[in-house]
Amino acid sequence: MIAIDIHHDIAIVKARVPVGEIYFTDYITLVHLSGKWQVEKTTKKFYRRLKIKY
C-alpha cells in the first residue's frame, strides 16, 4: 500500500515509490486510515485530479 496525506487537493506521498506506480496503475482508491490515506482502487482520471508531492 502507498500511504499518503491529503491536504485540500494535494496528495503528499508518505512512501518511497516510483511515480509510475502511482500514475499508471489502472485502478486506485484513496482509503482513509487513522489520519492517513491508502491507495487501493479507483480510476486514473480521478487520481490525476490530485496534485502529487513527494
- Domain boundaries defined on the chain: 3-53
pLDDT value at residue 23: 38
Contacts of residue 49, defined as CB under 8 A and 6 or more positions apart, other chains included, come to 9
pLDDT along the chain (54 residues), means of 10: 54 50 42 53 50 46
Is the pTM here over 0.95, yes or no? no
Give the strand pairing for 3-7 and 10-13: antiparallel
Residues forming a β-bridge with 33: 36
pLDDT value at residue 15: 53
